[in-house]
Amino acid sequence: MSEAVEIENIDVRLGKAPILRGVSARIHEGRIVALLGPSGAGKTTLVKALMGMNPVCNGEIRVFGKKVPSFEALSMVGYMAQNDALYEDLSALDNLVFFGSLCGVKEKAAKSRAEELLEFTGLGADKSKPVKKYSSGMKRRLSLAISLMNDPKLLILDEPTVGIDPLLRIRFREQFLRLRNQGRTIFLTTHVMDEAQNCDAVLLMREGRIIAYGSPSELMAGAGTDSLEDAFLYHIGLSEKEA
């Protein structure tokens, strides 16, 4: 099994403050991997480092073997930011086509793909509405659709389920599974244990470090508990002991 993402011992500083310290991780292709950690753990920083937006001082990141930052790596990645980054005055379709064309999708192809994705995310009926009239859930869905416009092999989703209702959360989960089944790798961040539970693998992060990595069951077994939350707490204690 090849690696979608290889993170090798990276340090990330924002300004002078060190945010990530010696982070290493591998994300296998075709898996849904959750980056789990409390707010302020450095999840978004790691995601941005993956996208080439944050400078990496030490170590190296590779996406499908391509060193980050590079345009090749970017073209294989679909990205959904923590906040919906949408053009509110434009319609959903316009947003999709625009981002699609930035990713190099030809206009005609972009349109049909946009229609497809609108159907996929259940926005087909509202495709011509300006985004400012969308609810926050619809915006999340549109953001997901945008991230899929370039038919990425790797989806990087920063807190995709924040602020959405449980029903939509379930729909998202289904969609993630469908996308994985299409052969895509999904790397998402969350601070909700529950959500991580349904992933193939979980990276536990705290204070800029990865403190544990494994499937939810492995992590729970390692900690001798049957809840991911307890496992998380266990690994926190372990990491503190190490320190």
Partner 1 sequence: MRALYVAGRVLKQFARDRRTLGLLIFAPLLILFLAYTILNSTIEAPNVEQLNMPEDMAAAFAKEMNLTAAAGEAEALDDLKHLKTDAVIIYTEPDITVCLEGSDSSLTAAVKKAVASAMSSYVRDHVNAEALRKIDEQKRKITADIDAQIKSVQDSVTEDIKEQQEKIKSDIESRMSEKFEDMKEDVKDKISSQLKSALRKKITGAVEKAAAAQREAVKRQLASYQQGVMRSVSQAAESYAQAVRRALEEYLSEIGAPGGADFQMPAFTPPVITPPELTMPAMKLSFGMPSIDLSDIEMPSVDMPEIEAPVIGSSDIKVPDIGFSVEVADISYSYLNGSDDMGAFDAAAPYLMGFFVFFFVFIIAGIAFLRERISGTLERVLATPIRRYEIVAGYFLGFGAFAFVQTLLIQFFMLYVLGIQIKGSLPLICAVNLLLATGSLSLGTFLSAFARNEMQMFQFIPVVIVPQAVFCGLFSLRDAPGWVQALSKLFPLTYGARALNDVAARGMGFPDIAPDMAVLAGFTLLFLVLNTLVLKKYRRM
Select from 36, 45, 99, 219 the one that contacts partner 1 (CB under 8 A).
99
Amino acid at 121: T
Strands (E), 104-197: 154-157, 185-190
Q: Name the DSSP class of 130.
A: B
Q: For partner 1, which residue of 57, 102, 177, 233 counts as binding (CB under 8 A)? A: 102
Contacts to partner 1 from residues 113-132, by CB under 8 A: 130
Question: Is there binding between residue 65 and partner 1 (CB under 8 A)?
Answer: no
Q: How far apart are CA 216 and CA 195, in angstroms?
A: 11
Q: Is 6 helix (H, G, I), strand (E, B) or coil?
A: strand
Instruction: State yes or no: residue 188 binds partner 1 (CB under 8 A).
Output: no
User: Which residue type sits at 85?
Assistant: A
CA 161, CA 139: separation in Å to the nearest integer?
Answer: 11
Say whether residue 37 binds partner 1 (CB under 8 A).
no
- The reply on whether position 101 binds partner 1 by CB under 8 A is yes
| 84 binds partner 1 per the rule CB under 8 A | yes
Query: In this complex, which beta carbon is closest to partner 1, that of residue 44 or of residue 161?
Result: 44
Rounded to whole angstroms, what are the CA distances from 104 to 109, 131, 145, 150? 10, 23, 16, 8
Q: Per CB under 8 A, does 134 bind partner 1?
A: no
Answer positive or negative: Cα dihedral of 94, 48, 61, 222.
Answer: negative
Candidate list 26, 103, 171, 191; residue touching partner 1; CB under 8 A? 103
Candidates 74, 109, 236, 238: give the one binding partner 1 (CB under 8 A). 74
Chain residues in the site for partner 1 (CB under 8 A): 51-55, 69-72, 74-75, 77, 79, 81, 83-90, 94, 98-99, 101-104, 130, 146, 150
